[in-house]
């Protein structure tokens, strides 16, 4: 482990994944002070007449770099015999890259323009609507985006849980502006859904229903984000509001992801509702490449062999005709007994409709 490696005489702390910038300053200063930096800086082969001296200086520089590394980072250069190559490899691997927005040639100009909007964004973040009177003189600030995050004022207000500000901004914003994604792929509705701010979501959806179908960077629609974070009120609202077409298996993994998450969270009524609409969701892949049946297999209490049944449930269960379970186009057989519990495997082989009825009665 990195923590077991003592600092060398060259650096105050050995190189790890998080300290390359200050580590490189220390090592470079040491190499400069000892006349060894030119060996690291250039990868040119030495002249034959200088080869012996160069070999010694290269070894000194390489040794200084090696003993300044932690155990994990040393493995990156352990097979190198060139100080220059070792230094460049560590830089390429561990040097933090600049944020993407700094590589954008238009960033500096946008930053200068955005500077005049900063008081407005500060007021929004603090929930100070009086401070947003700035909009009277500069109305385009309402759709301006922060250069380094791509967020609008609506994103900021939503994330800061400023419900009153969100409602006022939504009234003033053009309908299409609610569809703006920040650099992380999130619309303001996606932020509200992931945090469970139902009242905010309602006012946004009333203004523009298209945002219900806009996915984030992983193509997860707001309903999926609400399910993923377990916000029951938001889930109920978005389930009714979201276009049913978005949940069809043919439209991607959103529907299957919701069913999988509902199984994991034991929200069987919603899972049953969705599977009734689209039976193939039970065997469709979700965003993680798994099926809802796989998710269900990880909940032993969902199976009669893994839970105690009440009287009515036992009666229904005993009436199941295991040997003659008919397969229709709208039915899916579940055989996950040996995965879920390992007991009564035959009894766990039942039609999905009967299973989900039992699960519903368990609630």
Asked if the structure places residue 286 within a domain, the reply is no
Residue 20 shares a structural domain with residue 39: yes
Asked if the structure places residue 212 within a domain, the reply is yes
Residue 6 shares a structural domain with residue 64: yes
Which of 240, 261, 290 is where one domain is finished?
240
Annotate 287-299 with b (16+ C-beta within 10 A) or e (fewer). Answer: beebbbbbbbbeb
Going by C-alpha positions, the residue among 339, 328, 338, 330 that lies closest to residue 290 is 339
231: Cα within 13 Å, side-chain hemisphere: 23
Concatenated DSSP letters of 306-357: GSPPPHHHHHHHHT--STT----TT--EE--HHHHTSS-TTTT-EEHHHHHH
Going by C-alpha positions, the residue among 75, 100, 98 that lies closest to residue 17 is 75
Asked if 265 contacts 356 with a C-beta cutoff of 8 angstroms, the reply is no
> Tokens 């490449």 sit at which residue?
289
- Other beta carbons less than 10 A from residue 198's beta carbon: 18
Name the pTM for this structure.
0.57
Which of 213, 240, 267 is where one domain is finished?
240
Which of 40, 72, 94 is where one domain is finished?
94
Asked if the structure places residue 206 within a domain, the reply is yes
How many structural domains compose the chain?
Answer: 3
Residue 124 shares a structural domain with residue 207: yes
For the chain, 363 residues long, give each residue's pLDDT as a single digit of tens: 444 455 667 888 899 888 898 899 999 999 999 999 999 987 677 777 788 899 999 999 999 999 999 888 999 999 999 999 999 999 999 987 655 544 555 556 666 667 778 888 888 989 988 877 777 777 888 888 887 788 899 999 999 999 999 999 999 999 999 999 998 899 999 999 999 999 999 999 999 999 999 999 889 999 999 998 899 999 999 999 999 999 999 999 999 999 999 888 888 888 888 998 999 998 899 988 888 888 777 665 555 555 555 666 555 555 655 443 343 444 444 333 333 333 333 333 334 444 544 444 444
CATH number of the domain to which 226 belongs: 1.25.40.20
Residue 193 shares a structural domain with residue 126: yes
* Residue 174: domain span: 102-240
E strands, 37-194, are none
Beta bridge partners of 350: 334
78 contacts: CB under 8 Å, gap ≥ 6 = none
Beta bridge partners of 69: 15
Asked if the structure places residue 115 within a domain, the reply is yes
Q: Please state, in angstroms and rounded to a whole number, the distance separating the CA atoms of residues 197 and 190.
A: 10
Residue 233 shares a structural domain with residue 328: no
Asked if the structure places residue 181 within a domain, the reply is yes
Residue 222 shares a structural domain with residue 110: yes
């Amino acid at each position: 482990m990195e923590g077991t490696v003592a600092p060398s005489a060259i650096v105050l702390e050995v190189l790890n994944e998080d300290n390359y910038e200050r580590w490189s300053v220390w090592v470079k200063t040491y190499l400069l002070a000892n006349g060894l930096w030119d060996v690291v800086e250039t990868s040119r082969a030495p002249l034959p007449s200088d080869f012996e001296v160069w070999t010694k200086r290269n070894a000194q520089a390489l040794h200084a770099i090696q003993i300044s590394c932690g155990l994990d980072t040393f493995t990156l250069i352990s097979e190198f015999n060139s100080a220059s190559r070792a230094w460049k490899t560590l830089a390429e691997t561990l040097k933090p890259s600049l944020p993407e927005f700094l590589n954008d040639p238009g960033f500096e100009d946008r930053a200068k323009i955005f500077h005049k909007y900063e008081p407005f964004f500060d007021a929004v973040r603090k929930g100070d609507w009086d401070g947003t009177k700035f909009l009277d003189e500069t109305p385009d600030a309402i759709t301006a985006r922060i250069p380094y995050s791509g967020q609008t004022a609506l994103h900021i207000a939503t994330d800061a849980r400023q419900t009153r500000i969100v409602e006022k901004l939504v009234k003033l914003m053009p309908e299409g502006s609610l569809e703006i994604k920040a650099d992380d792929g999130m619309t303001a509705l996606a932020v509200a859904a992931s945090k469970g701010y139902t009242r905010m979501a309602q006012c946004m959806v009333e203004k523009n229903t298209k945002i219900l179908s806009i996915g984030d960077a992983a193509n997860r629609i707001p309903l999926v984000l609400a399910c993923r974070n377990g916000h029951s009120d938001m889930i109920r609202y978005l389930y009714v509001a979201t276009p049913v077409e978005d949940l069809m298996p043919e439209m991607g993994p959103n529907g299957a992801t919701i069913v999988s998450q509902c199984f994991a969270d034991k929200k069987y009524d919603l899972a049953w509702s969705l599977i009734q609409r689209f039976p193939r969701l039970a065997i469709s892949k979700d965003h993680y490449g798994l099926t809802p049946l796989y998710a269900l297999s990880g909940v032993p209490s969902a199976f009669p062999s893994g839970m105690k049944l009440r009287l009515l449930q036992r009666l229904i269960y005993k009436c199941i005709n295991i040997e003659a379970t008919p397969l229709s186009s709208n039915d899916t057989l579940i055989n996950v007994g040996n995965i879920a519990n390992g007991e009564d495997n035959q009894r766990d082989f039942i039609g999905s409709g009967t299973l989900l009825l039992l699960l519903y009665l368990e609630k």
